[in-house]
Every structure is written in C-alpha cells, then in structure tokens.
Amino acid sequence: MLVWLLLSGGAVLALDQLSKRFALGLVDGRSGAAGLPWPRLRLVLNARSGFGLARSRFGFVCLWFVASAGTILLASRIPGFQNHAARVGLGAALGGATGNLLDVLRRGAVVDFIDLRIWPVFNVADTAIVVGITATLLTMWY
C-alpha cells in the first residue's frame, strides 16, 4: 500500500508550507533576521535551487515528475522499499520536493529561512528530503 508514502508526503508538505508562511510573515517579506538566537531565521528567496538541473519552472516540473514517478516505482515494485519505514521516508522526501516545487511555481524561487550559520540557509522541505532519503536507505541495510 502506498498510503504511508502519501500520508508522510502530505504531512511534510503541510508542515513545510505552514513554516514558510510563518517565515514570510515574520520578516515581512524582506531579507533579514528574526529575533531568535539560534538557529537564526533569515529569509532567502533561492532562485538557484534544484542543484542547477532545472533552470525554468517547466524544468522544475519535469524534474519533480521524474522524481515522483521514480519514488512511486521504488515504493510499489522494488522489494527493498516494501516496508513502512522506507515508504514513510520516500513520502517525506517527495513531500519536501513538492513543497519546493510549489515555491518555484508561486514565487519563482524557493523560500529558505533556517540559518545555522555553518551551513547554507535551508527550509523544512530540504530537511525532509535529506532525512527521508537517509531513513529510506538505512531501512535497506538494517
């Protein structure tokens, strides 16, 4: 069943979009820092996302479509991805990718706002992609 993939993806997408709405409202659409000591909230509209693979909105949609089709194929056909944990991880990654795609389609750039000062500014969707893929890979080895 792909229900775990859809539930985790939907939850990540909702959390990502709510956090971005909060971040946009907190700094009122301007670049700058909010009053938290760490992690610092700093609004960055990243027009250079997608690892440079997609240079237009159409390219981003194509990249998302290929990633989504591959994710669904992995979760439904490949034996190593047949457990719930792997599907939740894949869903989280897909939900994060969808959140960033929505930003590109709406604003022409991805809304990043979490600044650790030792890493590039990122968002909840980026975290879900990395954690989701890592969790999925770990379930294959353990």
Active site residues: 112, 126
| Token pair listed for 75 | 């979760």
DSSP conformation class of 83: S
3 state SS for 31-76? CCECCCCCCEEEEEEECCCHHHCCCCHHHHHHHHHHHHHHHHHHHH
Q: Tell me the helices (H) and strands (E) count for the chain, helix number first.
A: 4, 2
As beta bridge partners, residue 44 has: 112
> What is d(CA 103, CA 113) in angstroms, rounded to the nearest whole number?
13
Rounded-to-integer distance, Cα 70 and Cα 89, Å: 14
